[in-house]
Amino acid sequence: MRKSNYDKFPSVSVPGGANACVTGWDAIAERLRQAIAGRAAAKTVLLVECYPGVHEAEVRRELEQRLQPTLTLQTSDMMLRPERIDALVELFLGGDDPVFGFLAGLKLPQFFDPEHLWYHGETVERVESGLVLIVGVGASLLQAGDLLVYADLARWEAQMRFRRNETGNLGIPNHQLPASLQYKRAFFVDWRVADRWKRPLIRRWDFVLDTNNPREPKLAEGEAVRRGLRQAARQPFRVVPFFDPAPWGGQWMKEFCDLDRAAPNYGWCFDCVPEENSLLLDFGNARLELPAIDLVFDQPRALLGDPVHARFGDEFPIRFDFLDTMGGGNLSFQVHPLTEYIQHHFGLHYTQDESYYLLEAGPDASVYLGLREDVDREAMARDLAAAQAGGAPFDADRHANRWPAKKHDHFLIPAGTVHCSGADAMVLEISATPYIFTFKMWDWNRRGLDGKPRPIHLEHGLANIQWDRTTEWTRRELINAIEPVAQGDGWREERTGLHAREFIETRRHWFTKTVPHDTAGGVNVLNLVEGEEAIVESPTGAFAPMVIHYAETFIVPAAVGAYTIRPHGAAADREHATLKAFIRIGTP
């Protein structure tokens, strides 16, 4: 395996960010004291809004100990009783389904008891002088406040807290619930509610509190954070990748990305999923970790471009992630929902169309894709049901095509197409963003990492299979549909997909010299799929050059416009390649 220079902690430098961020509770309290004193008022109401999953009691304790407020309130005391919150969200949790629900249209005030809010609001009003500290989700429901601190949390860290039984769901002390069910509730309810509340607050942040690492809390000035977000939306950048094991996981990322060698495997790497990933803002003396989705909320037009923003709003529609089965096993045999199905059953606007691009492949690598010409749908459904009931294992090769796979092959997977990556492959998965909507129909008789059977959704899967996507159609439409597009001095461009039914387009550039690119008004997402190192530059010097390494994914905001990529570093004389994805609105 090649020596890795993969950067696991990329960051965005904040212009004029020196001294705008402090670390540790003592320094945080001192900075807040200065802000309170700067108001020169007899009374100050300090709001500490918290994203679900933040350790609110710890934040309250640390600040209360140091700031000695006249009155401290915690918003969890003002919420509805847990049984009433359960009743409120029940409709969106899909009954006994362990994975799927329906996206909630609820708003945060619905989780609070109006009488409790009124009573505590009156209590705040009666305080004539000193500091009033209000901590928790929805702090600004109680009072407009004089200073607003937003305690944010990356969703990945929230998931880790579920797994460690450290936190419950919004308004519910359900710490002991299985992490998978906490995640489901957060995905369909908590995060939707909290994001609706967060969006308009971003422009009001006086400070941002980062408690992703409880041992090293950080506080940054709100205007400096917003300046960092504006900077990120006008230059190429990377989000912070995270890695997770899987029942089918492999060994390639463990070595290449220098991960924990004691871990049994790593199956996933999310390296461009802004809903899940973090964004590091570099203030020189400290790095503040924010959910990358904050950038999408605050700078949607500069980041996405007007046409993409008009279609998707403040959602980031392109996802890049890795699936590592090198030394692992097959992914589950699966299918993704059709657009109307995901709309009607789960409340999402668009579905998970995707593709597999082979970054690396062993000699026995393969991909299951599409049905055999002689497929019998009734027989296949019977075999799947029998296997799920404990009968004979499902013979995927009897019903579906298994195609040999080699490095740089590209397999297109529009929704409704049966598929899965086989073992011995390192896949760059390029897809639309609704990333949990995989209907597993067969999982090779294995159990999850928790030792329990993994959820199978055979009824959903069979309802979405497109039975006419058989061998010859698949070969013609979905495998290496590569065509030359353009060429220049030292470079050539190819269209590699995605399928006409998918809204994402991909282009591959092979190059030994400088390649001109242009966002043409829409966001670009790229990965260096060949070569050791390349550099991204502005023809006009509009942004600082950015060095990228093999297998790193990076985002080029729509606002960037023209940019170039060329080989860089010790192996600059060798041919390199990038794979670029964009939304089919305009033609970069």
Q: What is the mean pLDDT of residues 464-489?
A: 97
For residue 468, is it within any domain? Answer: yes
332: domain CATH number is 2.60.120.10
- Residue where a domain terminates, one of 456, 478, 500: 478
Specify the number of domains making up the chain. 3
Percent of the chain with pLDDT over 70: 99
Q: With DSSP H G I counted as helix, E B as strand and the rest as coil, what are the percentages for the chain, rounded to 5?
A: 30, 30, 40
- Pair (494, 432) in one structural domain: no
For residue 262, is it within any domain? Answer: no
- Pair (198, 324) in one structural domain: no
Residue 587: the pLDDT is: 45
- Residue where a domain terminates, one of 412, 446, 478: 478
The answer to whether 276 touches 155, Cβ cutoff 8 Å, is: yes
Residue 585: the pLDDT is: 79
pLDDT at 19 over 60: yes
Residue range(s) defining the domain that contains residue 349 = 276-286+300-478
In the block, which residue shows the tokens 């249209």? 105
- Pair (538, 444) in one structural domain: no
pLDDT digits (tens, 9 = 90+) for 199-245: 999 999 999 999 999 999 999 999 999 999 999 999 999 999 999 99
CA-wise closest residue to 519 among 315, 354, 303 = 303
- Pair (503, 444) in one structural domain: no
Percent of the chain with pLDDT over 90: 91
- Pair (338, 282) in one structural domain: yes
- Pair (179, 127) in one structural domain: yes
For residue 503, is it within any domain? Answer: yes
For residue 248, is it within any domain? Answer: no
335: tokens are 């299918």
Residue 109: the pLDDT is: 98
- Residue where a domain terminates, one of 478, 504, 522: 478
Q: Where are the alpha helices (DSSP H) in 202-298?
A: 222-232, 252-256, 293-298
- Pair (508, 457) in one structural domain: no
- Pair (424, 530) in one structural domain: no
Q: What is the mean pLDDT of residues 385-413?
A: 96
> Which 3 state secondary structure label does DSSP give 139?
helix
Q: Which string of b and e fits 314-327 if b means at least 16 CB within 10 Å?
A: bbbbbbbbbbbbbe
Q: Which string of b and e fits 504-515 if b means at least 16 CB within 10 Å?
A: bbbbbbbbbebb
- Pair (505, 447) in one structural domain: no
- Pair (538, 462) in one structural domain: no
Cα–Cα distance measured from residue 335 to residue 357, given in angstroms and rounded to the nearest whole number: 18
Q: Which string of b and e fits 152-189 if b means at least 16 CB within 10 Å?
A: bbbbbbbbbbbeeeebbbbbbebeebeebebbbbbbbb
For residue 260, is it within any domain? Answer: no
Furthest C-alpha separation in the chain: 81
Residue 337: the pLDDT is: 95
- Pair (522, 429) in one structural domain: no
For residue 251, is it within any domain? Answer: no
- Pair (446, 504) in one structural domain: no
What is the CB-side half-sphere exposure of residue 387 using CA atoms within 13 A? 22
For residue 6, is it within any domain? Answer: no
